Structure 1
Amino acid sequence: MENQSLTKQIGEKLKKLRLENKLSLDQLSARCSVSKPMLAQIERGASNPTVNTLWKIANGLGVSFTAFIDAEQPVIKKVNRSEIEPLIEESGKMKVVPLFPMEPGKSFETFYIELEPGCDYHSNPHPDGVEEYLFIEEGSMTLEVDTQSYIISSGESLRFTANYPHYYRNPYSESCKAMMIIHYPSSIR
Protein backbone atom coordinates (compact mmCIF):
# COMPACT_ATOMS: atom_id res chain seq x y z
CA MET A 1 0.00 0.00 0.00
CA GLU A 2 2.97 2.32 0.37
CA ASN A 3 2.83 3.69 -3.21
CA GLN A 4 -0.91 4.26 -3.25
CA SER A 5 -2.47 7.57 -2.44
CA LEU A 6 -4.17 7.97 0.92
CA THR A 7 -7.55 8.40 -0.82
CA LYS A 8 -7.20 5.07 -2.63
CA GLN A 9 -5.96 3.33 0.51
CA ILE A 10 -8.95 4.61 2.52
CA GLY A 11 -11.32 3.42 -0.21
CA GLU A 12 -9.83 -0.07 -0.36
CA LYS A 13 -9.87 -0.41 3.42
CA LEU A 14 -13.48 0.84 3.63
CA LYS A 15 -14.62 -1.76 1.10
CA LYS A 16 -12.69 -4.52 2.91
CA LEU A 17 -14.19 -3.58 6.30
CA ARG A 18 -17.70 -3.27 4.83
CA LEU A 19 -17.46 -6.72 3.21
CA GLU A 20 -15.96 -8.27 6.37
CA ASN A 21 -19.03 -6.99 8.21
CA LYS A 22 -21.28 -8.39 5.45
CA LEU A 23 -22.87 -4.99 4.84
CA SER A 24 -24.25 -3.59 1.62
CA LEU A 25 -23.64 0.06 0.80
CA ASP A 26 -27.29 0.72 1.75
CA GLN A 27 -26.85 -0.95 5.14
CA LEU A 28 -23.64 0.93 5.89
CA SER A 29 -25.24 4.19 4.78
CA ALA A 30 -28.07 3.66 7.27
CA ARG A 31 -25.57 2.88 10.06
CA CYS A 32 -23.30 5.86 9.56
CA SER A 33 -25.52 8.59 8.01
CA VAL A 34 -23.27 8.93 4.95
CA SER A 35 -25.02 8.64 1.61
CA LYS A 36 -24.69 5.48 -0.47
CA PRO A 37 -23.27 7.44 -3.47
CA MET A 38 -20.62 9.05 -1.23
CA LEU A 39 -19.65 5.66 0.24
CA ALA A 40 -19.35 4.23 -3.28
CA GLN A 41 -17.16 7.17 -4.39
CA ILE A 42 -14.90 6.73 -1.36
CA GLU A 43 -14.57 2.98 -2.00
CA ARG A 44 -13.56 3.64 -5.63
CA GLY A 45 -10.98 6.20 -4.51
CA ALA A 46 -12.89 8.88 -6.43
CA SER A 47 -13.61 11.02 -3.36
CA ASN A 48 -11.35 12.09 -0.50
CA PRO A 49 -13.50 11.87 2.66
CA THR A 50 -13.47 14.67 5.20
CA VAL A 51 -12.42 13.98 8.78
CA ASN A 52 -16.07 14.20 9.86
CA THR A 53 -17.21 11.74 7.18
CA LEU A 54 -14.45 9.28 8.08
CA TRP A 55 -15.46 9.48 11.76
CA LYS A 56 -19.10 8.75 10.87
CA ILE A 57 -18.06 5.71 8.85
CA ALA A 58 -15.69 4.48 11.58
CA ASN A 59 -18.43 4.81 14.19
CA GLY A 60 -20.91 3.03 11.90
CA LEU A 61 -18.49 0.13 11.44
CA GLY A 62 -17.38 0.12 15.09
CA VAL A 63 -13.71 0.60 14.18
CA SER A 64 -11.05 3.15 15.02
CA PHE A 65 -10.52 6.25 12.90
CA THR A 66 -7.18 4.96 11.67
CA ALA A 67 -8.54 1.54 10.73
CA PHE A 68 -8.75 2.98 7.20
CA ILE A 69 -5.06 3.86 7.01
CA ASP A 70 -3.30 1.29 9.16
CA ALA A 71 -0.68 -1.08 7.82
CA GLU A 72 1.51 -3.74 9.40
CA GLN A 73 3.76 -1.94 11.85
CA PRO A 74 7.43 -2.70 12.63
CA VAL A 75 8.66 -3.05 16.21
CA ILE A 76 10.25 0.41 16.02
CA LYS A 77 8.75 3.11 13.89
CA LYS A 78 10.05 6.64 13.45
CA VAL A 79 7.70 9.11 11.79
CA ASN A 80 8.16 12.61 10.42
CA ARG A 81 4.78 14.32 10.39
CA SER A 82 5.83 16.55 7.49
CA GLU A 83 6.06 13.39 5.36
CA ILE A 84 2.53 12.16 6.23
CA GLU A 85 -0.36 13.26 4.04
CA PRO A 86 -2.72 15.16 6.35
CA LEU A 87 -6.49 14.86 6.39
CA ILE A 88 -8.07 18.27 5.92
CA GLU A 89 -11.52 19.08 7.26
CA GLU A 90 -13.95 20.60 4.76
CA SER A 91 -13.49 24.14 6.05
CA GLY A 92 -9.77 23.80 5.37
CA LYS A 93 -9.07 25.14 8.86
CA MET A 94 -8.35 21.83 10.58
CA LYS A 95 -5.50 19.50 9.66
CA VAL A 96 -5.22 16.01 11.16
CA VAL A 97 -2.01 14.00 10.76
CA PRO A 98 -2.31 10.35 11.82
CA LEU A 99 1.05 9.62 13.47
CA PHE A 100 0.51 6.19 14.99
CA PRO A 101 -2.64 4.37 13.86
CA MET A 102 -4.18 1.82 16.18
CA GLU A 103 -2.46 -1.55 15.91
CA PRO A 104 -3.62 -5.03 16.92
CA GLY A 105 -3.32 -5.43 20.67
CA LYS A 106 -3.25 -1.68 21.29
CA SER A 107 -6.25 0.43 22.22
CA PHE A 108 -5.12 3.90 21.16
CA GLU A 109 -4.06 6.00 18.19
CA THR A 110 -2.06 9.23 18.06
CA PHE A 111 -2.57 12.34 15.93
CA TYR A 112 -1.06 15.76 15.40
CA ILE A 113 -3.72 18.42 14.80
CA GLU A 114 -3.64 22.06 13.74
CA LEU A 115 -6.58 24.42 14.08
CA GLU A 116 -6.26 27.59 12.06
CA PRO A 117 -7.78 30.85 13.36
CA GLY A 118 -11.53 30.70 12.83
CA CYS A 119 -11.69 26.89 12.97
CA ASP A 120 -15.05 25.66 14.25
CA TYR A 121 -15.07 21.85 13.96
CA HIS A 122 -17.93 19.72 15.26
CA SER A 123 -17.19 16.08 16.11
CA ASN A 124 -20.05 13.65 16.49
CA PRO A 125 -20.14 11.53 19.64
CA HIS A 126 -17.85 8.49 19.57
CA PRO A 127 -18.94 5.10 20.93
CA ASP A 128 -19.19 4.69 24.72
CA GLY A 129 -15.83 4.32 26.44
CA VAL A 130 -13.80 6.34 23.91
CA GLU A 131 -11.59 8.99 25.54
CA GLU A 132 -9.63 11.81 23.92
CA TYR A 133 -6.43 13.29 25.36
CA LEU A 134 -5.27 16.69 24.08
CA PHE A 135 -1.80 18.16 24.63
CA ILE A 136 -1.48 21.75 23.40
CA GLU A 137 1.96 22.55 21.95
CA GLU A 138 1.29 26.08 20.64
CA GLY A 139 -1.59 28.52 20.78
CA SER A 140 -4.98 27.96 22.39
CA MET A 141 -8.31 26.36 21.62
CA THR A 142 -11.75 26.24 23.10
CA LEU A 143 -13.14 22.75 23.51
CA GLU A 144 -16.83 22.26 24.16
CA VAL A 145 -17.94 18.87 25.41
CA ASP A 146 -21.68 18.40 25.84
CA THR A 147 -22.59 21.62 27.71
CA GLN A 148 -19.16 22.44 29.19
CA SER A 149 -16.57 24.76 27.63
CA TYR A 150 -12.83 24.68 28.32
CA ILE A 151 -10.01 26.93 27.13
CA ILE A 152 -6.74 25.05 26.85
CA SER A 153 -3.46 26.72 25.97
CA SER A 154 0.18 25.92 25.27
CA GLY A 155 1.57 23.57 27.91
CA GLU A 156 -1.87 22.42 29.06
CA SER A 157 -3.59 19.08 28.54
CA LEU A 158 -7.15 17.87 28.78
CA ARG A 159 -8.81 14.45 28.83
CA PHE A 160 -12.50 13.87 28.18
CA THR A 161 -15.02 11.14 27.50
CA ALA A 162 -15.83 11.53 23.82
CA ASN A 163 -19.30 9.97 23.69
CA TYR A 164 -20.84 13.44 23.66
CA PRO A 165 -20.92 15.97 20.82
CA HIS A 166 -17.72 17.99 21.03
CA TYR A 167 -16.47 21.09 19.27
CA TYR A 168 -12.92 22.21 18.60
CA ARG A 169 -12.79 25.98 18.16
CA ASN A 170 -9.97 28.42 17.56
CA PRO A 171 -11.38 31.94 17.95
CA TYR A 172 -7.85 33.28 18.43
CA SER A 173 -5.48 35.03 16.01
CA GLU A 174 -2.80 32.31 15.94
CA SER A 175 -2.88 28.62 14.98
CA CYS A 176 -3.34 26.01 17.67
CA LYS A 177 -1.05 22.99 17.38
CA ALA A 178 -1.70 19.93 19.49
CA MET A 179 -1.11 16.24 19.95
CA MET A 180 -4.12 14.00 20.44
CA ILE A 181 -4.43 10.46 21.72
CA ILE A 182 -7.70 8.62 21.28
CA HIS A 183 -8.17 5.66 23.60
CA TYR A 184 -10.70 2.97 22.70
CA PRO A 185 -12.36 0.39 24.92
CA SER A 186 -11.56 -3.23 24.12
CA SER A 187 -14.87 -3.65 22.26
CA ILE A 188 -13.57 -1.45 19.40
CA ARG A 189 -10.77 -2.77 17.22
Structure 2
Amino acid sequence: MNEARSVNPKELVAASLKRERARAGLSLTELARRAGIGKSTLSQLESGEGNPSVETLWALSTALGVQFSALLDSPTPTVEVIRFGEGPVIPAADADYSATLLSTASPGSRRDMYVIRAEPGKPRVSAPHARGIVEHVVISCGRARLGPTDATEVLSAGDYISYPGDVEHVFDALEPGTVAVMLSEAF
Protein backbone atom coordinates (compact mmCIF):
# COMPACT_ATOMS: atom_id res chain seq x y z
CA MET A 1 0.00 0.00 0.00
CA ASN A 2 1.42 3.39 -1.00
CA GLU A 3 1.12 6.09 1.59
CA ALA A 4 1.67 9.76 0.90
CA ARG A 5 4.73 11.09 2.65
CA SER A 6 6.10 14.56 3.05
CA VAL A 7 9.06 15.26 0.79
CA ASN A 8 11.86 17.49 1.98
CA PRO A 9 12.33 20.18 -0.72
CA LYS A 10 16.13 19.90 -0.48
CA GLU A 11 15.91 16.14 -1.04
CA LEU A 12 13.55 16.68 -3.95
CA VAL A 13 15.89 19.18 -5.62
CA ALA A 14 18.89 16.92 -4.92
CA ALA A 15 17.23 13.88 -6.51
CA SER A 16 15.94 15.92 -9.45
CA LEU A 17 19.35 17.47 -10.15
CA LYS A 18 21.07 14.08 -10.08
CA ARG A 19 18.41 12.56 -12.34
CA GLU A 20 18.47 15.40 -14.89
CA ARG A 21 22.27 15.68 -14.89
CA ALA A 22 22.54 11.93 -15.56
CA ARG A 23 19.97 12.19 -18.38
CA ALA A 24 21.97 15.04 -19.91
CA GLY A 25 25.21 13.08 -19.57
CA LEU A 26 26.99 15.99 -17.88
CA SER A 27 29.68 15.90 -15.24
CA LEU A 28 29.30 17.96 -12.09
CA THR A 29 32.02 20.30 -13.37
CA GLU A 30 30.42 20.75 -16.81
CA LEU A 31 26.92 21.43 -15.44
CA ALA A 32 28.30 23.96 -12.94
CA ARG A 33 30.21 25.69 -15.77
CA ARG A 34 27.16 25.83 -18.06
CA ALA A 35 24.94 27.14 -15.25
CA GLY A 36 27.52 29.70 -14.13
CA ILE A 37 27.61 28.44 -10.54
CA GLY A 38 30.35 26.99 -8.38
CA LYS A 39 31.04 23.26 -8.51
CA SER A 40 30.90 23.17 -4.69
CA THR A 41 27.45 24.82 -4.77
CA LEU A 42 26.19 22.19 -7.20
CA SER A 43 27.74 19.41 -5.14
CA GLN A 44 25.98 20.70 -2.01
CA LEU A 45 22.65 20.91 -3.86
CA GLU A 46 22.99 17.35 -5.17
CA SER A 47 23.79 16.08 -1.68
CA GLY A 48 20.70 17.82 -0.26
CA GLU A 49 22.75 20.17 1.90
CA GLY A 50 22.54 23.44 -0.04
CA ASN A 51 19.77 26.04 -0.05
CA PRO A 52 18.97 26.67 -3.70
CA SER A 53 17.83 30.11 -4.76
CA VAL A 54 15.32 30.69 -7.54
CA GLU A 55 18.13 32.16 -9.64
CA THR A 56 20.33 29.09 -9.15
CA LEU A 57 17.52 26.70 -10.05
CA TRP A 58 16.66 28.76 -13.15
CA ALA A 59 20.30 28.66 -14.25
CA LEU A 60 20.47 24.91 -13.68
CA SER A 61 17.19 24.18 -15.46
CA THR A 62 18.36 26.26 -18.45
CA ALA A 63 21.74 24.49 -18.53
CA LEU A 64 19.99 21.10 -18.35
CA GLY A 65 17.42 22.02 -21.00
CA VAL A 66 14.46 21.19 -18.75
CA GLN A 67 11.53 23.13 -17.37
CA PHE A 68 12.11 24.83 -14.00
CA SER A 69 9.37 22.61 -12.55
CA ALA A 70 11.37 19.48 -13.41
CA LEU A 71 13.72 20.35 -10.56
CA LEU A 72 10.86 20.73 -8.08
CA ASP A 73 8.56 17.87 -9.04
CA SER A 74 8.57 14.36 -7.66
CA PRO A 75 9.48 12.00 -10.47
CA THR A 76 6.65 9.87 -11.77
CA PRO A 77 7.24 6.13 -11.66
CA THR A 78 8.75 4.93 -14.93
CA VAL A 79 7.94 1.27 -14.38
CA GLU A 80 4.40 -0.06 -14.37
CA VAL A 81 3.58 -3.76 -14.07
CA ILE A 82 0.20 -5.29 -14.84
CA ARG A 83 0.14 -9.03 -14.27
CA PHE A 84 -1.67 -11.28 -16.72
CA GLY A 85 -5.27 -11.52 -15.54
CA GLU A 86 -5.21 -8.13 -13.81
CA GLY A 87 -6.71 -4.90 -15.10
CA PRO A 88 -10.14 -3.94 -16.36
CA VAL A 89 -11.56 -6.67 -18.63
CA ILE A 90 -14.08 -5.62 -21.28
CA PRO A 91 -15.90 -8.60 -22.84
CA ALA A 92 -17.38 -8.61 -26.33
CA ALA A 93 -21.16 -8.90 -26.55
CA ASP A 94 -21.27 -11.38 -29.41
CA ALA A 95 -18.00 -13.38 -29.33
CA ASP A 96 -15.84 -15.22 -26.79
CA TYR A 97 -13.41 -12.30 -26.83
CA SER A 98 -12.25 -9.83 -24.20
CA ALA A 99 -9.87 -6.88 -24.09
CA THR A 100 -7.91 -5.72 -21.06
CA LEU A 101 -6.63 -2.15 -21.23
CA LEU A 102 -2.93 -2.12 -20.37
CA SER A 103 -1.90 1.43 -21.19
CA THR A 104 -3.72 4.56 -22.24
CA ALA A 105 -2.28 7.31 -24.35
CA SER A 106 -0.39 10.00 -22.54
CA PRO A 107 -1.15 13.63 -23.39
CA GLY A 108 0.05 14.42 -26.89
CA SER A 109 0.02 10.83 -28.09
CA ARG A 110 -2.87 8.80 -29.35
CA ARG A 111 -2.45 5.13 -28.60
CA ASP A 112 -3.86 2.46 -26.31
CA MET A 113 -2.54 -1.03 -25.54
CA TYR A 114 -4.62 -4.12 -24.75
CA VAL A 115 -4.32 -7.82 -24.00
CA ILE A 116 -6.81 -9.77 -26.09
CA ARG A 117 -8.11 -13.18 -24.97
CA ALA A 118 -10.24 -15.09 -27.43
CA GLU A 119 -11.70 -18.55 -27.91
CA PRO A 120 -12.75 -20.29 -31.13
CA GLY A 121 -16.36 -19.77 -32.13
CA LYS A 122 -17.97 -16.62 -33.35
CA PRO A 123 -15.34 -14.16 -34.69
CA ARG A 124 -15.13 -10.64 -33.26
CA VAL A 125 -15.96 -8.29 -36.12
CA SER A 126 -15.14 -4.65 -35.42
CA ALA A 127 -16.77 -1.74 -37.19
CA PRO A 128 -14.34 0.85 -38.57
CA HIS A 129 -12.75 3.03 -35.89
CA ALA A 130 -11.93 6.72 -36.32
CA ARG A 131 -10.05 7.72 -39.45
CA GLY A 132 -6.30 7.14 -39.24
CA ILE A 133 -6.38 4.37 -36.62
CA VAL A 134 -3.79 1.61 -37.13
CA GLU A 135 -3.82 -1.60 -35.08
CA HIS A 136 -0.66 -3.58 -34.31
CA VAL A 137 -1.13 -7.13 -33.01
CA VAL A 138 1.34 -9.75 -31.74
CA ILE A 139 -0.03 -13.22 -31.02
CA SER A 140 1.31 -14.40 -27.65
CA CYS A 141 -0.15 -17.91 -27.73
CA GLY A 142 -2.56 -19.80 -29.94
CA ARG A 143 -3.54 -18.91 -33.48
CA ALA A 144 -5.95 -16.40 -34.99
CA ARG A 145 -7.25 -15.16 -38.30
CA LEU A 146 -7.30 -11.37 -38.20
CA GLY A 147 -7.02 -8.13 -40.11
CA PRO A 148 -9.31 -6.23 -42.47
CA THR A 149 -12.28 -8.47 -43.32
CA ASP A 150 -11.27 -8.48 -46.98
CA ALA A 151 -7.58 -9.28 -46.32
CA THR A 152 -7.23 -11.49 -43.21
CA GLU A 153 -4.08 -13.37 -42.29
CA VAL A 154 -3.55 -16.40 -40.04
CA LEU A 155 -1.03 -15.71 -37.29
CA SER A 156 0.61 -18.02 -34.76
CA ALA A 157 2.45 -17.31 -31.50
CA GLY A 158 5.16 -14.71 -32.07
CA ASP A 159 3.68 -13.40 -35.34
CA TYR A 160 2.97 -9.69 -35.83
CA ILE A 161 0.50 -7.85 -38.06
CA SER A 162 -0.47 -4.23 -38.55
CA TYR A 163 -3.52 -3.06 -40.45
CA PRO A 164 -5.83 -0.08 -40.81
CA GLY A 165 -8.38 0.02 -38.00
CA ASP A 166 -10.54 2.51 -39.87
CA VAL A 167 -12.00 -0.30 -42.01
CA GLU A 168 -14.08 -3.27 -40.85
CA HIS A 169 -11.74 -5.85 -39.31
CA VAL A 170 -11.95 -9.20 -37.58
CA PHE A 171 -10.27 -11.27 -34.87
CA ASP A 172 -11.11 -14.99 -35.09
CA ALA A 173 -9.40 -17.31 -32.58
CA LEU A 174 -8.47 -20.62 -34.19
CA GLU A 175 -7.20 -22.34 -31.03
CA PRO A 176 -8.45 -22.39 -27.43
CA GLY A 177 -6.65 -19.95 -25.15
CA THR A 178 -5.53 -17.56 -27.88
CA VAL A 179 -3.90 -14.45 -26.41
CA ALA A 180 -2.61 -11.38 -28.23
CA VAL A 181 -1.26 -7.94 -27.44
CA MET A 182 -2.81 -5.13 -29.47
CA LEU A 183 -1.63 -1.54 -29.82
CA SER A 184 -4.14 0.86 -31.35
CA GLU A 185 -2.70 4.17 -32.50
CA ALA A 186 -3.99 7.19 -34.36
CA PHE A 187 -2.12 9.32 -36.83
* TM-score of the aligned structures, taking structure 1 as reference length: 0.54
Whether 1:163 and 2:166 are equivalent positions in the alignment is yes
Pick aligned residue for 2:89 from 77, 83, 86 = 86
CA distance in 2, matches of 1:140, 1:180: 14
Report the RMSD for the aligned CA atoms in angstroms. 1.8
2:113 to 93, 110, 113: 110
Q: Secondary structure at the match of 1:82?
A: coil
Contact kept, 8 Å, 1:119 with 1:168, in 2: the verdict is no
Could you say what secondary structure the match of 2:99 adopts?
strand
Question: CA 1:85–1:92 in structure 2 vs 1: closer, same or farther (change >3 Å)?
Answer: farther
Structure (1 or 2) with the larger CA radius of gyration: 2
- What is the CA–CA distance in structure 1 between the aligned matches of 2:123 and 2:90, rounded to whole Å? 16
Give the match for residue 80 of structure 2: 77
Report the CA distance between 1:76 and its aligned residue.
Answer: 3.6
Q: Percent identity?
A: 20
From 149, 172, 176, the equivalent of 1:174 is: 176
Per the TM alignment, residue 88 of structure 1 is displaced from its structure 2 partner at its CA by: 0.7
Q: Deviations over 1:90-133 (max 9, x none)?
A: 13510100000122122211100011121411101012211000
Which amino acid counterpart does residue 108 of structure 1 have in structure 2?
R
**1:146 positional shift:** 4.1
User: Shift of the alpha carbon at 1:78?
Assistant: 2.4
Alignment correspondent of 1:18: none
Within 5 Å, give how 1:40-189 maps onto structure 2.
75-91=78-94, 93-170=96-173, 172-185=174-187
User: For each residue in 1:1-49, what CA deviation from the matched residue of structure 2 results, as whole angstroms up to 9, or x when unmatched?
Assistant: xxxxxxxxxxxxxxxxxxxxxxxxxxxxxxxxxxxxxxxxxxxxxxxxx
2:28 paired residue number: none
Q: Structure 2: 5+ residue runs without aligned partners?
A: 1-75
> So what's the TM-score if we normalise by structure 2?
0.55
Q: Is the 8 A contact 2:147 2:163 kept in 1?
A: no
Q: Deviations over 1:59-96 (max 9, x none)?
A: xxxxxxxxxxxxxx854422224221311111351010
The verdict on how the C-alpha distance between 1:81 and 1:163 changes in structure 2, with shifts beyond 3 A counting, is same
Structure 1 unpaired stretches of 5+: 1-72
